[in-house]
Each structure stands twice: as C-alpha cells, then as structure tokens.
Structure 1
C-alpha cells in the first residue's frame, strides 16, 4: 500500500478476472530494430492499441463501473479523448448513461468514437483542465458518478491489469517503456511490477508532467503543448500515482514532436500498426536513440493507443 491508497498487486490480481469478460488480451509483436534503421535488437511491442475503444483506457473504465456504485444519473468523465471513449464504451456495454467532456484540442477521430458509443458529448475549453472542471460541475449538480482519467484508485488498479498481462506474455522482461500523461497507466503498471523490472517513462518535451514532478519531488504544473497534447498533456500527474512512480519508475525520458511523428510513421511503414502520437511516444524513445538498451537487455515497448485518423497513414 502506497500513500494510503489500495493500489496493490493483490487488488490488481483480484480485479483482472472481473474485467476479463470485457477487455481483450492484446497481442505482442516481436520486431528487430534493424528493420527500422537501428542496430539489431529484438524488441517486443505490446499492442494495447488494439484494445476495445482504441486504447488501454478500457481497463480503468470497466474497473470503475464494476467496483463503484453507478447512480441513475449515470457516469461523467473528462478526457482528451481516449478516456472518454473508454468510459462511453464501458457504459454502453454495462447499460449506463454517460456524459463526456472533451477540450477543443481533441481530434475528430476520438470524438467520433465517443459519439459512436452513444454517450452525450460536450466539447469546450482549450485544454483538459477546463473539461475536467465542467465535468465536475455536472457531477455535483446531477449526482452522476465522476470517473477520473488517472487520479482515481479504481482507474490505477484497472490499468495495473495491463502490467499483469505483460508479465504473463513476457516472462523474463528487463525493461518496459511506457508513455506518460496523467500517469494512470504507468502508475498502475509500476504498482504491479513493484520494482521487479525496470520501468522507463517517456513524455513529450512539450508536456513533461512526470519529468517536472520528479525534479520538484511532487506533482507540479507543466506545459501542455505538442502533438500529443490530447492524450499526454494534463497540467500535472496525479497525486495517487506519484508515490508509486517515485518508488518504482526509474526515470523519465523526453522526446520531441518530430521524434514522435517519426515513430508513428515507422510503425505504419514497417509493421502496419496505426498509432496515435501518444501511443507512439514510448517507441519514439527507442527509435530516436534517447533510450539505448544495454547488451543483452530484454526490452518491451507499450503501444498504448490507436485513435488516429487512418487517412493520414
């Protein structure tokens, strides 16, 4: 137990079979970095981009809806797009009403997913923080259940089930590269592994939320800019994930927008994987050389989201 929160391996393990009927066991693809113009190295890509609703967020959404009491007013969430799509999908599957608030920066591909799952969609505000404030106001007025994208125990526990799945898929793994926005994904995964493998955070230079938090010793405001701003640019990481990250995340690596774009293009060109910018950020650290594995190091990269417009590929 960390910082008073019940985000433990035991709770994650107990939750996994409960959400299993609703989430996919996503595949792993072994690649050789020589095919990407880098020195030869076998790397495993965990393709969580193939999850229901297009990202890992479905795990946390179902955990919230199965663990918490959902009132008649339904659920409400704020999102850059992926969390909203996941909550909308989970609510549709479980028969609940959902209202999703997104900022104007959210891409059309994500908005169409949310609408397609039957949720009420409210677009407004320049950034995630404004959508969050609007969603909190509606929750207070209506009594709907607020589902936070990353600073919620159930959200972290749900994302932690991905760590459990990765360990089952890749026994003997040394290092896992994980993209960071608010930190729910890396917080849940790090809580599962609890120091048993090396966890490396990867963030856009324009949205260094965990990087700034590590420097300050606590969550602090960071810039919210860049190509991945819709998924990796809240103002700061969550209070619940930070002590987990301090304990179990080795460090944060920053990648540029150009490196993220190159990673997206490479994933499509070489292995025909569509990834949104946030989903490709972790691979960008490896492709760019910003993370250089040691000889014999077994590395995996989490490709965590695919909600991009296929036409651009």
Structure 2
C-alpha cells in the first residue's frame, strides 16, 4: 500500500476551500529554519486535511450510509473527523482511549460526534471502532493509515515548497506515520524528510531496524498524539521507497522545545507538535551549512495553562 504525489495533488484539489492554507513563518537573522504553522489549521491540527479528503472521497465513491463514519483516535484524528463530518452533514462516532485528554474529547463532542471511551491505549480503541463499523455499517476511517488520509496530510508539504521552493528539508513528527507518509510522497525527489519520534514511542525506527512494522511499548509526554503502538503500512512503504533521516528525541527535549515555541514565537503547541522542533533544538538533527529547513508544527490542542 503506497501513495504518490499524484494522490497528494488530487487531495489538494478535493479539499481546497475546506481547509486553511497555513502560513510558513520565515526565519529571522541568520537562521535558516522556517516554521509551517499547521497548528493554525481548523481544529488546531494537520489531520483536518486528511479528514476532509477521506470523507469527501467516500461521498464521491458512494461509500457512506446512514451510520456515517467511525474512527479511533487518541484525540486529534477524532477531532478532525468530527469537524469534517459536521461540515459535510455526516454522522460520526469516535472511539478514544480512556486517558484521552479532556480538552480534545470536549471539542469532539462539541462538533456533534458521539464519543466512546474504550481501553487504555489507542490500539484498544482501534479494535473497538473496527467492530463497531462492522456491526453498525459505519464507514471505518483510519486515524493515519489510509491513502486518502495520508494524501490529505501531504498537502501541507505542497504548500511549503510552493511558498519557499528553496527548502531542502522538511522535519515532521512521527506517531503512526500518516503525516510522514503524506509528506514523503509529496516531496520525494524534491526535498529530504527528517522523521522525528519520541524515544519512548519509536515505531518507525524499530520498524526500520526489524525490516517490518513491529509493536513497541508507548509512553511519554507525547503519547496522546504520537501514541500509536505500530507504524502504519503507508509510512513503512514510504521509508522503503526513500529512507528518511530517522531521529529520536527525549521527553525532556520535547518539553523544552514546546516551551521555546511558546516563549519565542507565541506558538501554543502540544507535545507531539513540538517533537519535530526538538530534533533541531536538542542537536539530534544538525543541518548542514546553508541547509534550508522547514519544521512542521502540526498541532495546538493543548492546555495553555501549562505553557507559562
């Protein structure tokens, strides 16, 4: 299962007018790091792109029935799918782990979706969502590992290179890998991709070492958004087509990057979104002299009182 740039371009055409074209914040002084401000996307997360692409494609193909869609999510995917469903008049049921952040659950419910808390981890919520879809006839939407979802995410990379064609490298956080797979498809042959994971949730790194996706133990400050237990097939195929620069960062570095984004840029990012920036600030990824780097700040669904 793979996606191509053509899939990303088709997604871009499908979702135009439904999502925001988020700004690319230019560097200052001698800095050569741009920030793709995807935290300003509808719902405060990049996943809104894939949500609209998946649901609009399902409508085009006649896949949707009265039961609407069902998705499992640590929070952000459910939020994005609930928002898209509300905009398109589609019923949505969202399964979340019991530990899903309350701020995200409340927003999901505010968009009219039914929320069902199931299990301690995303994987358990995922299994319950699959069963629900089979029993109720709801169309299953994967949080990250479906071509339409990943291709939608990849549209942000198209924007990056349209706004600044001289970008050499795009740095993205990796959980289940939908964003990475979409970005990799969009920029293959045009820019390098740095795939950044928390040390406590290294799904892509372990898959690359094992030669296949494998389960890993998941914990840490970014587990609510980067908490998939296994890398998706799309992301694994993407690294086979063109290996990324794989980087791991500690929880301490993620926390420090999140505070840096707030204090220097007034960007209220969640820990998962700060993971990409942590690779640069910690020195885990050191750009070459003159390398022009864009860091994707992919989500803002966090408790702002923790940013002081």
Cα distance per residue 1:225-256 (max 9 Å; x no partner): 11111111211111122111222242210001
Q: 1:239 aligned to 219, 233, 242, which one?
A: 233
Superposed, 1:20-59 pairs within 5 Å as 20-32=16-28, 40-59=30-49
Counterpart contact for 1:190–1:249, Cα < 8 Å: no
Counterpart contact for 1:76–1:146, Cα < 8 Å: yes
Q: 1:204 aligned to 176, 180, 198, which one?
A: 198
Counterpart contact for 1:75–1:98, Cα < 8 Å: yes
* Structure-2 residue corresponding to 1:8: 4
Distance 2:256 2:222 in 1: 13
* Structure-1 residue corresponding to 2:115: 121
* Structure-2 residue corresponding to 1:226: 220
- Please list every run of 5 or more consecutive structure 2 residues that lacks an aligned counterpart in the other structure: none
Superposed displacement of residue 167, structure 1: 1.3
Root-mean-square deviation (CA, aligned residues, Å) is 1.2
Q: Secondary structure at the match of 1:31?
A: coil
- Please list every run of 5 or more consecutive structure 1 residues that lacks an aligned counterpart in the other structure: 35-39
Q: 1:175 aligned to 169, 172, 184, which one?
A: 169
* Structure-2 residue corresponding to 1:61: 51
Does residue 184 of structure 2 align to residue 194 of structure 1?
no
Aligned length: 303
Cα distance per residue 1:121-145 (max 9 Å; x no partner): 1112110000001111110110001
* Structure-2 residue corresponding to 1:108: 102
Distance 1:242 1:270 in 2: 35
Distance 2:198 2:221 in 1: 8
Q: TM-score, normalised by structure 1?
A: 0.94
Q: 2:90 aligned to 90, 96, 99, which one?
A: 96
* Structure-2 residue corresponding to 1:138: 132
Distance 2:157 2:265 in 1: 24
